[in-house]
Amino acid sequence: MCIGLALSAGAVMPAGAFELFGMKFFEDPNAADEDAVIVDPQPYFVTFTSSEGGGVEAALRNASALLADEAEPASGAAGLIAKARGDYRRLLAALYAEGHYGGAVSIRIGGVEAAKLAPDVKLPDPVDVTIAVTAGPLFTFGSVSIANQAPATNDPDDQVDLPVLRGFGAGEVARSTVILRAEQLALEAWRQQGYAKAEIVGREVVADHATNTVAAVITVNPGRLAAFGPVRVTGTTNMNPEFVAQQTGLAVGSEYDPDQLDRAQKRLDRLEVFRSARLEAAESIGSDGLLPYELIVEELPGRRFGFGATYSSVDGLGLEGYHLWRNLFGQAERLRLDARVASIGYPVDTSQFDYFVGGTFTKPGFYHPDVDLVATVSAERTIYPQYTETSAGGRVGLSWFFSDELTLEGGASFEIARFDDDFGTRDFQTAGVYAGIVYDGRDSSVDPTEGWYAAANLEPYFDLLGGKPGARLVVEGRTYFGFGEDDPFVLAGRLKAGAVLGPDLVDIPPDKLFFAGGGGSVRGYTFKSIGVDDGMGNITGGRYLLEASLEARAKVTNDIGVVGFVDGGYVAADTFPGLDDLRLGAGVGVRYYTGLGPLRLDVAVPLNKKAGDPDYAIYAGIGQAF
């Protein structure tokens, strides 16, 4: 079983309370928010009735501040009366949102209508509050129209749903939220076609209580066609403002497009140097048709560090840490150094330790705002179940964020390595290139409920010592299906395949061969313990890999979820895996949902256990298993 804890901080970490995974530690329990101090507490209890049940009643209850705050006393009689008077508005708004325009709301405090009470009235302690809502009839749209609606467009990137498709049509329930949504769609349709200052200049909503219908007319003023103007950057201290403006990718003179603004925001977030970055348009379009922008930024500290620890009854203690430098030369360059010592057991035997040191340099905006230059160097000595690796190497390449979903990368690599395994001690020096493509259409990277993910990586290489070429190909796909409101049930699947082309297994570096087993592979088995049996009980890496996982996830509460899963994996030597090579693992897990993503704890058992396999395995981490 492994238990881990990792902390990170900026260059200066203040003493006192700190927060981890949304939980506060060492916080003064007597500290109070000044705004929350109640000078004259006025306890109360609420009785709520509604003429409509179901969704209407639920919406009303959710809208009431009196109900929401019932457990806490109000700030005197005046505070309670103010809260009740606010509830009149909130409850009527909730009725309108459900299509009820003829409702009535009564809120009585101590038997007297709240609207008639003076702020200095004396109230019992506690006082009874009665909320009674009569929803009235359900209204539908009798007629709807949008004056100056945007023309249709053939550009799929500029198309916006027609309001009628979102309920803004004759005969539909006349929810106020539908009217507001229709306005947003009407504005978005113009803005997608370059009219940045489109605005609603008229909204006429008339409820006919004789027919229980609503007539709604929305009037839009599209304004002028606009193009992006210059971006002026404010708030920088160490960053180069010209580079920051360039990194938005907003070219002066190009037609205004809200999608480009979204891309610009994501580019800025990807720099990882700003605490906040906000683009604000000028109040008006210039006489030249350009719309200038101001980019207001606040920079993060220049340094960040972190450390962590893991413990396993099998692998011992592991310690790791990193140090990150941001914005080395004024253009968001990053340098991160990592170090790790693992497999620390008792009695202490340094010859069994695992070591790793490495550094990664990233230069964003390398000739284009969506291209990063990434260079890494590392050295390690790691004892895996099937071999020991002592190596040093590096790679340099480019990452191209082609779109929100598609990322391409490519570059060159070099490695010097020595491996000790059942074949003896072998040395390799490999030079190669790599290319990869990732499509990520998931709704979340840590807790996806829909969409799919696909990745492919190809790494041709040449062994300089052996004089033999090879190539490694890996492809993977994942998909997710959510069920129910807010997707409390999710069915997730994963499929991964790999192949190594080249010489005999003995002439291929073990780190380029395939193994299976572990938390990201076939759960229930030790990391990299599934390989190829040479017939004499020795396990080596394989030329071919095939893995699959199926996982069912269900939320028990908003914070707790349960999971059931089955994993399978093949590793084969010189032929593609067959069913007789299949290794299966199955198990269950729990999830605790936080703002950072779910905390994961899985317990798995091998279903076709062989000699040396564990009876069970426990895995912990942040985010779903895949």
pLDDT number for residue 21: 28
b/e burial code for range 320-359 (CB count within 10 A of at least 16 → b): bbbbbbbbeeebbbbebebebbbbbeeeeeeeebbeeebb
pLDDT at 372 over 90: yes
| Distance, C-alpha 112 to centroid of its chain | 50
pLDDT at 286 over 80: yes
The token pair that represents 604 in the structure block: 């798995």
Cβ atoms 247, 364 nearer than 8 A: yes
Model pLDDT for residues 558-583, shown as the tens digit of each residue: 899 999 999 999 898 876 555 667 89
Contacts of 90 (CB under 8 A, 6+ apart): 63, 64, 65
**Is the model more confident about 113 or about 7?**
113
CA 268 – CA 272 distance, rounded (Å)? 8
DSSP output for 33-49: -GGG--SSEE-EEEEEE
Residues of the chain with pLDDT > 70, as a percent, come to 91
DSSP output for 171-196: TSB--HHHHHHHHHHHHHHHHHTT-T
Q: What is the mean pLDDT of residues 590-607?
A: 89
pLDDT at 32 over 60: no
CA 64 – CA 57 distance, rounded (Å)? 11
pLDDT number for residue 577: 54
**Is the model more confident about 613 or about 312?**
613
Starting at the edge strand found earlier in the chain, the sheet holding 44-50 runs: 44-50, 127-134, 104-109, 112-113
Q: What backbone phi and psi angles, to 5 degrees, belong to 49?
A: -135, 150
Q: In the Cβ-directed half-sphere of 581, how many Cα atoms lie within 13 Å?
A: 22
pLDDT at 408 over 70: yes
pLDDT at 4 over 60: no
pLDDT number for residue 561: 94
Rounded (5°) CA angle 154-156-158: 85
Prior bond to 510 cis, omega within 30?
A: no
From residue 366, give the alpha-carbon distance in Å to each of 266, 295, 352, 361: 16, 21, 42, 13
Beta bridge partners of 397: 374, 411
pLDDT number for residue 331: 95
- Averaged confidence pLDDT in the chain: 88
pLDDT at 496 over 50: yes
The SS3 of residue 393 is strand
**Is the model more confident about 178 or about 367?**
178
When pLDDT is cut at 50, 70 and 90, the band that residue 311 belongs to is low
The token pair that represents 246 in the structure block: 């360039």
The SS3 of residue 233 is strand
The token pair that represents 165 in the structure block: 């498709």
Model pLDDT for residues 237-274, shown as the tens digit of each residue: 999 999 999 999 999 999 999 999 999 999 999 999 99
Model pLDDT for residues 505-557, shown as the tens digit of each residue: 888 999 999 999 888 899 988 888 888 877 676 778 889 999 999 999 999 99
Rounded (5°) CA angle 59-65-66: 110
Model pLDDT for residues 54-88, shown as the tens digit of each residue: 999 999 999 999 999 999 999 999 999 999 999 99
CA 100 – CA 389 distance, rounded (Å)? 71
* Entry pTM: 0.76
Model pLDDT for residues 163-181, shown as the tens digit of each residue: 999 999 999 999 999 999 9
CA 436 – CA 456 distance, rounded (Å)? 6
CA 3 – CA 193 distance, rounded (Å)? 53
DSSP H helices, 193-315, are: 241-247, 258-270
Amino acid at 8: S
pLDDT number for residue 315: 65
Residue 501 has a CB neighbour count (10 Å cut-off) of 12
Taken in order 25, 31, 34, 39, is the CA torsion positive or negative? positive
Of the candidates 583, 597, 582, 588, which has an alpha carbon nearest to the alpha carbon of residue 618?
A: 588
CA 449 – CA 555 distance, rounded (Å)? 12
pLDDT at 370 over 50: yes
Q: What backbone phi and psi angles, to 5 degrees, belong to 55?
A: -65, -35
pLDDT at 11 over 60: no
Model pLDDT for residues 418-462, shown as the tens digit of each residue: 999 877 899 999 999 999 999 999 999 889 999 999 999 999 999
For the chain, give percent helix, strand, coil, nearest 5. 15, 50, 35
Cβ atoms 549, 556 nearer than 8 A: no
Of the candidates 347, 442, 351, 359, which has an alpha carbon nearest to the alpha carbon of residue 394?
A: 359
Helix (H) or strand (E) holding 359: strand 354-363
Model pLDDT for residues 452-490, shown as the tens digit of each residue: 999 999 999 999 998 999 999 999 999 999 998 888 999
Cβ atoms 389, 511 nearer than 8 A: yes
CA 424 – CA 430 distance, rounded (Å)? 19
Cβ atoms 418, 426 nearer than 8 A: yes
Residue with tokens 């200038």: 292
Helix (H) or strand (E) holding 86: helix 76-97
